[in-house]
Amino acid sequence: MNQTTISHMAAAILWVGLLATTGANSSPPFTHTGECEVDNNGKLNGYCFTVCPPYHTCCSGPSTECPAGRRAKKVDYVPCDLIDQRVDPKKVCQFSGS
């Protein structure tokens, strides 16, 4: 093999190695902090609600800090797209997401 072929093979092997480790070195999911969602009956529904970056969209995720069926301490409304989301501002929570 000539020097150019060996250089190309070495670069290809390096590139494949970098691609293979990209998944292993990826960053962990974000932890979002928000308020527990409230259903129509004034009870927590098991989800945590917040506005997520980078586009400030409404998002929610399951959270053990919002036990479904437990009565909300206070019900407030947060604007979310075309609707208002019911939340309990006294019940701060977290959930993992991307």
- Provide the residue type at 47 as one letter: Y
Which pLDDT score, from 0 to 100, does residue 27 have? Answer: 61
Token couple for 45: 């529904």
For residues 28-49, average pLDDT:
93
Tell the residue number behind the tokens 């150019």, with chain if given. 4
Nearest-5° Cα angle at 11, 10 to 15: 120
Contact 63, 94 (CB under 8 A): yes
Token couple for 52: 């997520």
Token couple for 55: 């586009």
Which pLDDT score, from 0 to 100, does residue 10 have? Answer: 39
pLDDT tops 90 at residue 55:
no
The pair phi, psi for residue 11, each rounded to 5°, is -65, -40
Please, which pLDDT band fits residue 53 given cuts at 50, 70 and 90? confident
